[in-house]
Structure 1
Amino acid sequence: MSKIRIYTIAKELGIENAEMLSILDDLGIEYKSVSSTIEEDTVELIKGIVAEGRGSAPAVAQTDQPQPEKQEEVNTDTVQNDQAKTEKSRVDQTPAQADSGLSAEELAELAELEAEEAAEQAAAAARAELPHRAPVVTIMGHVDHGKTSLLDYIRSSKVAAKEAGGITQHVGAFEAKTSKGRVVFIDTPGHEAFTSIRARGANVADIAVIVIAADDSLMPQTREAIAHAQAAKVPMLVAINKVDLAQADPERVKADLTTINLVPEDYGGDVITVPVSARTGEGVEDLLEYISLTAELEDLRADPKGEFGGVIIESRVDKQAGVLATVMVQEGTLKVGDFLVVGENYGKVKAMTDSAGGRIKEAGPSTPVQILGFSESPSSGELVSRTENEHAARELIAGREEKRREEEEARKKPKLSLDDILGPLSEVQTVNLILRADTQGSLEAIQGILAKKETDDVKLNVLLAGIGAPTEGDVLLASTADATILCFSVVPSGAVKKAAENKEIDLKSYRIIYEMIDEVDRLIKGNLEPVYEEQYLGRAEVRMVIRHPKTGNIAGSYITDGMFKRGAKAMVTRGKEVVYEGNVVGLKRFKDDVREVRQGLECGINLDWDEVQEGDIIEASEMVEVEQ
């Protein structure tokens, strides 16, 4: 029996992919994504459900018997009236009547939860009213695997040329017209550029396409690109390029993907792989189709009438025009004449050009535009906002400058401890690592040891494991993912060390593998909440009570077992009754203050309690951190 892809059936039936998946969920049918396949008999069942939902069921012949439709109508009205009365009765009740047995505190908590749920539902309903926007796609991968060629093919085949006028400069993104609508590509490929944008708080791309050559498979930069996309938590598609070559082996690529925990759909996983050729165009339509399907499932929406928000993709200085900045509009609509603020700079939009070089007056969400108007060149990834006028722009910048100065002052103060930062831990903590080693064998050995180091409370997440010295791209990834870079038998360059220092990234090198593992142990321990237990120290018998006008009563005692320490916990028993629990605030041997006294010696024990009596027994203990 043949199988059919889910999105193909949805297209034939004229329904959204999300609705199709909902039907499959109701039927209890498992799937990985809309590109998964289902059996023909399931397809027929779905067609019947869709037809029934559209009212295609056979009509019932009319007879002289009473019409059931009217009877149902009456019954429905009756039920509705009963429901209305019940609802009114419920509303008229006091909270205590409606929720008998609940305390005032529990009622308040319940009301708060209901209010939060109502707010979430209202926000979801409001979002559902917003129009969809085009997906923004970035293409990444190893050098020479065909990223640029693929972008060039899509641009030449899917972009309608316009007459360039005025500013005819390169815009760092372009819009492609597909059968499913617009798709926006960022054509400044490279995972480092992608992450440098994200490092400043802007996740400009919605989908990442990882290009892997079918004749070369996974390479170091491929792994890096995947790590950057995973750190950004954006959906990934894998384009297996160069399938037109005689030596192409797409199956090898799929098999190699499984070694880094990316399992293709063909192998029962959820990673979509698309064979393509940037030279002949084979598979490019399929890739665009999958991009659109992924975007549909992501339900990308934006309000063109809302407050404007955007991000700088790139900028440069033109000798004739001045500063040219490419902005990706994310929310609202950007117009010529608007005042924009980027960081601590502002500018007025004097002219705006679309990705095809044509002059435009306004641009909505998911639209890349090149603007003229900034006096200084903004950095990639900086967020762009709009103000009403120049005065408002200056005020906003003044506020940002003051905040920056305050943060600089704060950085001069002592750093917070790990406990201050993490506070009480109530969930699993993750230690992010980037590993660099001299050989593949070393790398595999280290990863094998690390796999055994995880605990129920702390997970080790290796973002990237590569051969050779760490790069500045590694430092960038570490800064955005809060990771530690560990190197074995490779030495980072001076530039990389400086970059790590500037971004306050831990970059450590080791020659002995177990020294590296010890460092991982320290990282794990630093992410665990310490566990303490009370440990017995010693016992003392009070033989006399010494009255002291300044320090209070001192228990002249004999240590019968173990030892006593200053600052230890103390418990005093009188007969079988515990009469005091507190601390040893002082210890004396003759006239000297001492830190500890051992078994067989006499001493003066000063408690923060004056009711001690001769014959009392004092037990000392301390809280000790236990290994986890």
Structure 2
Amino acid sequence: MSDTKDQDGKARLSLRPAGRLELGRTVDAGSVRQSFSHGRSKVVQVEVRKKRAPGTPPPVTATPAGGGTRPSGGSGRPGSSGVGSRALTASELATRQRVLADQQRDAAKRESEAREEREKISILSAAEEARRREDDARKAEEEAVRAAKEEATRKALEESDRRAAEDSAKRAAASPASAAPAPVAAPAAPAAPRTSPGETLRLKTPRAGEEDEDQRPVRRLGAAVPPRKAPLVAPKKGDADRRRTGKINVQAAIEGDDERVRSIASMRRQRDRERRQAELERLRADQVKVVRDVILPESISVQELANRMAARAGEVVKTLMKMGVMATITQNIDADTAELVVQEFGHRVKRVSESDVEIGLEGEVDEDDDLIKRPPVVTIMGHVDHGKTSLLDALRKTDVAAGEAGGITQHIGAYQITTEGGEKITFIDTPGHAAFTAMRSRGASVTDIVVLVVAADDGVMPQTIEAISHAKAANVPIIVAINKMDKPGANPERVRNELLQHEIVVESLGGDTQEVHVSALKHTGLDKLEEAILVQAEILDLRANPSRDAEGTVIESRLDRGRGPVATVLVQKGTLWTGDIIVAGAEYGRVRALIDASGQNVKTAGPSIPVEVLGLSAVPSAGEPFVVVEDEARAREVAEFRQRKLRDKAAAGQIAGRGTLDQMLARIQAGVQKEVGVLIKADMQGSAEAIQSVVMKLANEEVKVRILLAGVGQISESDIQLARASSGVIVAFNVRATAQARDLATRESIDIRYYSIIYDVADDIEKLVRGRMAPKVRENFLGYAQIRKVFDITKSGKVAGCMVTEGLVRRGAGVRLLRDNIVIHTGDLSQLKRFKDDVREVARGYECGLSFAGFQDLREGDVVECYERELVPA
């Protein structure tokens, strides 16, 4: 139905269909196989329609009613392009041109996309066609083989039927004449298989490698064999005859068959996997079992054990689980368990000890050709205040003694001087106080010569004797320097005679020990002392090899606030260079700087040269040896081993000193054992060591002294916390606490005691120990009383009538009952009466009545001793 216009211009209805656009459409049709996940694919019919190019005028058709022509599809409405319509404005034309341009660009884009799609389709179609041809060829070969087998089966069946027919005819001819002849089927027709009515013949398609005779069906004799048909073989998925033809919609794509076809990429991946698996099996077959030598220390982690065996850590964990050991890869196992694991893996075991890390740490023995002359190392020893430091100051032309607190040396100093002849001598000054025994022992062990300083007016003293013992123990020659010869009371003859008592015979008395008279104050005899030292060094023939790694001893160590740990070392072998990695006791580090005795930075330090070393990880213990190692890993390994040894030793000492936990708790609860905790912080390691020895000597059976910490450096907040937890006192020797530590100590009421002289430390700690001791009980004798008569009173028991023979008897005092001068009872008086009255005490010459608490065995003639107890401080 369409609307037309009449002569009046009015639109009228018409049953005639409106004109349609006669646009020819060009269609490109084709099929494409779509691939989905899991190997599924579908064949889809694709139609590609060509669009009419923009700007092409529509074909002109005749108007259904009325004259004139109009474009097809014109409606005659205002604004249409038909005859009689109004002209388009400029804006409408611009809009139309813009829309046409956009349509043209879209069409070009769609055309390029369609071209790319067609190229993809052609590539996929070519691959699909090649694969289809391969499948067709393979199926044709299979059909030919199958047809040949079926033909052979058919011929065998026909031959069998023929023979059966002949046998039946022979049996019929031999039967009696009365018997009716049986009808015989025409031989020309093939015999049908013997089947029952309604039964069909089923043939099983023979498989590859199976005989046809085994698949022969059962037939009746004489039955006709129908012509055999080709067996029905189900076509495989992906065959060409199974492809969907025609168009496909969304419903068909969703509900279509789920045929699966492997993609080319999937087959390529499978071939790669098979090739890799074959190569891996070939490598495993050609691989030779590698047997390794596995080094096992006393303890090793599971991961490290796996690394040394070149095995997976998981396999080692599984092996341990089979052995009943549940361990993770980060846990440590003992050497015995690790040995079993290594043997399970088929490797050889080599057991080593942790101490083996120190093997080869020291260098080899030097050859005589490499040794050159070195300066002698001289240690000055003697009693306190005998002038050791003053003598060294005179030799060095310095004044060290003036700077010492209390006028005594409290740490080891190492110096080097040059004589007028150009010879160098290294001096080590040791303290003479009784507390510094360990320092003197260290000084004697690292020295070549000992200069024994004895005051001419004082003679041989206790520390002088101790210095002689240290020198003899170290097998070091002694030079006796009789000091203070300028004093009026100087008596060198007395010194010589006193030295004889200790087996020191000087040259003036016919011995081999050199004797020099010196005065440190007047600087007299110093040249003779230097000459004696050089002569002794010449006799000893002191030599060393400077062209090797350095070895030596830590003389003293301290913690400097600005420079960190500082160690004063004496190089004994080789040459120490800046940048060397050294191990000093349980500490290690790289040498950052070397400072000589005059305070100057130096690059190297040869044999017999004392220097300060900067760069260690912590403060080493004084007296420990140091050695240069090849790398930092070796230094760390050695230092960690030594630190473990020190921790184990300290733990064992604490356990041995305290006993078991039950014993310690029992002693504390009973009030038998008391403890004084002391935390020591000093400026030098040697000073802390000396204070520790002094404090430990103050302990007794009742009060134990426990050293919480003995270290160097300033007092920190952690030190305050440690002292608070142990209820201890802090001894600060030539150091101070930080501001934060002082505030914390004030809040926690922690006692910090500052000292600069070791005498004061010993006195204060001794008072502290005495204050912790329980007061002692002292008995004061009061008097004697003799029992004259014993009365038996019903309510009170036995009462002794006594005469006080000496002193007095006091109520509440302690009494002892003596019978034949033997104590048979000790207790207290329960009653003291004179006549019928209770009295406080009864004096000598008076009678009294006594009764004892809990004791009734009283006899005439016994003696009662009365005394009282008094508590006095310890």
TM over 0.5: no
Bigger-Rg structure (1/2): 2
Q: Which has the higher contact order (CA 8 A, sep 6+)?
A: 1
